[in-house]
Amino acid sequence: MDVGPNARIRFGRGVRFMRDFTGHFYGDVTVGDGVFFNRGCYVAAYSGLTIGNHCLFGEGVSIHDENHVVGRGFEPIATRGFEVKPIVIGNNVWAGAKATILQGVHIGDNAVIGANAVVTRDVPADTIVGGIPARVLREVKESSLPVEQRNKATEAIWLKDTFILPIVKLSAIGQVNREPDRNNKSPLPYGANWHSNSNGHRLKPARLQQLPQYLSDTPIIDP
């Protein structure tokens, strides 16, 4: 993270950044509770950025409150400088993988931004947008699943992402040959301990043994 001398940054509780996050924070940056940035996200906030509570940003999402000044003339684009406008992202917004959010936009609560979309204008609340440039595809409707079932599914997905998938993808982060030490300390920064089964090869975080019983019937990738 690159933080400017005049930046004012406020993070809520439970904000999580996965690997390869890049941030240039030079303006006022406010990030609400429970916000999650997946791998490879890029955030440039030179003017201002406000993100509400419980937002999810998929792999490779880019957020830019700055843009090159363009126009006619012979001056090289690289020397024309930048124009900056603050970005406001509401609560419970989900931006799919490799979506791009550009300067000056306001994204309403509960909006969904499709993968690879480029957001150049305001997004109304409770809508799904996609495309280049992004446009409204339809409205977000309340899930028909019972609340209890939705909560169980959500917990299962978060546990899978945090504790299991990093083990499955060890080769992708250069630790395929790294074994956990004999003191059961995890080589990954996820706070989970390891154990091996009888063949000594298939490893799981020991905390998986403490999952609620209903997860035994939930599809979860098993390393």
pLDDT at 153: 52
Q: Which residues are catalytic?
A: 68
**65 touches 47 (CB < 8 A):** yes
Strand, coil or helix: 161:
helix
The domain ranges of the chain are: 2-139, 147-217
Q: If we measure between CA atoms, which residue out of 89, 87, 80, 101 comes closest to residue 45? A: 87
| Rounded Cα gap, residues 38 and 61, in angstroms | 8
* Nearest-angstrom CA–CA distance, 67 and 54: 27
Which tokens go with 62? 């880019």
CA distance 157 to 151: 10
pLDDT at 191: 34
Amino acid (1-letter code) at residue 20: D
pTM above 0.75, yes or no: no
**Distance (Å, rounded) from C-alpha 124 to C-alpha 122?**
7
How confident is the model at residue 143, as a pLDDT?
Answer: 58
| 2-139 belongs to CATH 2.160.10.10 | yes
Which of 207, 209, 206, 203 lies closest to 222 in space, CA to CA?
203
pLDDT means per 10 residues, the chain with 223 residues, are: 84 89 90 93 93 95 88 76 89 95 95 95 94 92 60 51 34 32 38 35 37 34 31
